[in-house]
Amino acid sequence: MDLTVWRAFVTVCRLGSLAAAAAELGHTQSAVSRQVGGLERQLGVPLLQRHARGVRPTPAGEVFRHHALAALNEADRAVRAVRDVRDGTFRRPLTVGATPSLAAGIVPAAIRRLIDTTGPVRWSLLPELSAQLHDRVIAGDLDVAVVTDAPPGLPNDPRLERRFLGIDEMVVALPVDHPQAEQSPVRIQALADQTWVEDNDGSAALLRQHAARAGVTARIDLTAADLLGKVALVATGHAIALIPGVLTSALRTDVTTVALVDPPTRGIYTITPRRDPHPSVTPLLDHLTAALGPVRPAEAAPRLHENGRDSSAGPLLA
């Protein structure tokens, strides 16, 4: 497939108009229409649907737009890298992965400190869950990933270097007008009868384990597709949620948090390939530690078995 056609389709989706896309791209409207039509024939499905004010992607078109945009961005980075080599200014891009809560604040803050200290760094950030980030580091897609040992834990892999950064205490996210909003810290018993929302199995396991230790059951009645959706359900009063403490400073203004008595915790780590480390990784690790603050000394890091479980206690983060 021709990336020029992909770019035309993505531009149409962004502007919502064939005419506006043609003007931006310097093509005629009929040329852009033919490009999109050819793409639809190749894929065998309609990608655009008309409405009163222009066009918008069909469900299939939205899926293709998401992947096409990623491919175009990567292609643009490849072209810039080749030009940098030609001009003698090439610096290897730094590819960073992080869990969604860490990508929301801690990691960008650390990269800001890195750039302020060492000068401009071409970098990219990929938010995913720890298991997917682990696989991406092994595959060579990432130079470093900031992950957690929330259930099911982190595997021990001889190909990776793991560094402990700190312990994150989980907190409860509430709508700002919730009756418990000013009661911090609270016991889980006071919230057990509430409707809870979760977005991944690891966080749900932490909540269930914490409630079970207190002799109650948390009602996880709602499921969100991601962390953003989870917080939105809290903000609109549909549920409350267990969220990472590191996310607190990045929350929207219509959500507040309360601390739990004896809260569940998770360890935060970086994982990097043992071979061919990026030169910016070492200073970045120091800035990540500084961005997290004095959470807990490194010697308090849990001792992990190969299956990711804590050897000094029962189930991991139970």
CATH number at residue 170: 3.40.190.290
**Is pLDDT at 207 greater than 60 in this prediction?**
yes
Query: What pLDDT, in 10s, does the model give residues 133-145?
Result: 999 898 888 999 9
Q: Is the same domain home to 208 and 251?
A: yes
Mean per-residue pLDDT, 241-251: 92
**Is pLDDT at 291 greater than 70 in this prediction?**
yes
The reply to whether 201 falls in a domain is yes
pLDDT score for 302: 42
The enclosing domain of 19 has a CATH number of 1.10.10.10
**Is pLDDT at 241 greater than 90 in this prediction?**
yes
Mean per-residue pLDDT, 260-289: 92
Q: Is the same domain home to 62 and 127?
A: no
Mean per-residue pLDDT, 159-164: 92
Give 294's pLDDT tier (boundaries 50, 70, 90). Answer: very low
Q: Count other C-beta atoms under 10 Å from residue 48's C-beta.
A: 22
Last residue of one domain, picked from the residues 87, 105, 128: 87
The reply to whether 315 falls in a domain is no
The reply to whether 316 falls in a domain is no
Return phi, psi of residue 219, to 5°.
-85, 95
Q: Is the same domain home to 271 and 162?
A: yes
Query: What pLDDT, in 10s, does the model give residues 56-106?
Result: 999 999 999 988 988 888 888 778 778 767 766 556 789 999 999 999 989
Q: Is the same domain home to 154 and 198?
A: yes
Structure tokens of 314?
A: 């029962």
pLDDT score for 285: 93
Give 176's pLDDT tier (boundaries 50, 70, 90). Answer: very high
| Mean pLDDT estimate for the chain | 86
Decide: 107 and 115 in contact? Cβ < 8 Å.
no
Residues of the chain with pLDDT > 90, as a percent, come to 63
The reply to whether 92 falls in a domain is no
Return phi, psi of residue 304, to 5°.
-100, 135
Q: Is the same domain home to 113 and 251?
A: yes
Q: Is the same domain home to 182 and 256?
A: yes
Mean per-residue pLDDT, 235-255: 93
Last residue of one domain, picked from the residues 63, 87, 111: 87
Q: Is the same domain home to 294 and 254?
A: yes
d(CA 151, CA 224): 18
Q: Is the same domain home to 168 and 28?
A: no
Mean per-residue pLDDT, 161-183: 92
> Which residue range(s) make up the domain with 67?
3-87
pLDDT score for 71: 87
Mean per-residue pLDDT, 45-64: 92
Decide: 84 and 92 in contact? Cβ < 8 Å.
no
Mean per-residue pLDDT, 24-47: 94
Higher pLDDT, 269 or 139: 269
The reply to whether 313 falls in a domain is no
The reply to whether 314 falls in a domain is no
**Is pLDDT at 307 greater than 70 in this prediction?**
no
Decide: 264 and 207 in contact? Cβ < 8 Å.
yes
Structure tokens of 79?
A: 């072209």
Q: Is the same domain home to 184 and 144?
A: yes
pLDDT score for 313: 31
Count of the separate structural domains present in the chain? 2
Neighbouring C-alpha atoms within 13 Å toward the C-beta of 10: 16
**Is pLDDT at 242 greater than 90 in this prediction?**
yes
**Is pLDDT at 236 greater than 90 in this prediction?**
yes
pLDDT score for 89: 58
**pTM of the full structure:** 0.67
**Is pLDDT at 267 greater than 90 in this prediction?**
yes
Last residue of one domain, picked from the residues 87, 105, 129: 87
Q: Is the same domain home to 28 and 133?
A: no
Give 204's pLDDT tier (boundaries 50, 70, 90). Answer: very high
pLDDT score for 182: 82
Q: Is the same domain home to 79 and 159?
A: no
Q: Count other C-beta atoms under 10 Å from residue 73's C-beta.
A: 12
